Amino acid sequence: MKNLKLYSFLILAVLAILIILQNTVEVQIRILFLTMNAPLALFLLITLLLGIVLGILIAYLIDHKARKRPA
């Protein structure tokens, strides 16, 4: 099972890197009142990292809540 998780992670990581590296065109992003120009790869990388951080945080909070609950 550990190997399956490792292989799945490696495959997804390689796919993410390939997608990010193929999208180098400059784009304009508007977030609320802020407008930014940067390569699409940068925005994809930021989105990926935010998703990873949020996923880890949510998993931690769910696990912490489950451990805190009396059996």
Per-residue pLDDT of the chain (71 residues; tens, 9 = 90+): 778 988 998 999 999 999 988 998 999 999 899 999 999 999 999 999 999 999 999 999 988 877 877 65
User: Are the beta carbons of 29 and 35 closer than 8 angstroms?
Assistant: yes
The pLDDT assigned to 71 comes to 59
Token pair of 29 as six digits:
């992003």
The pLDDT assigned to 10 comes to 92
User: Are the beta carbons of 24 and 41 closer than 8 angstroms?
Assistant: yes
Domain ranges of the chain: 2-68
The pLDDT assigned to 11 comes to 94
d(CA 71, CA 66): 9
The pLDDT assigned to 56 comes to 92
Long-range contacts of the stretch 14-17 (C-beta < 8 A, 24+): 16/48
The pLDDT assigned to 50 comes to 94
The pLDDT assigned to 34 comes to 92
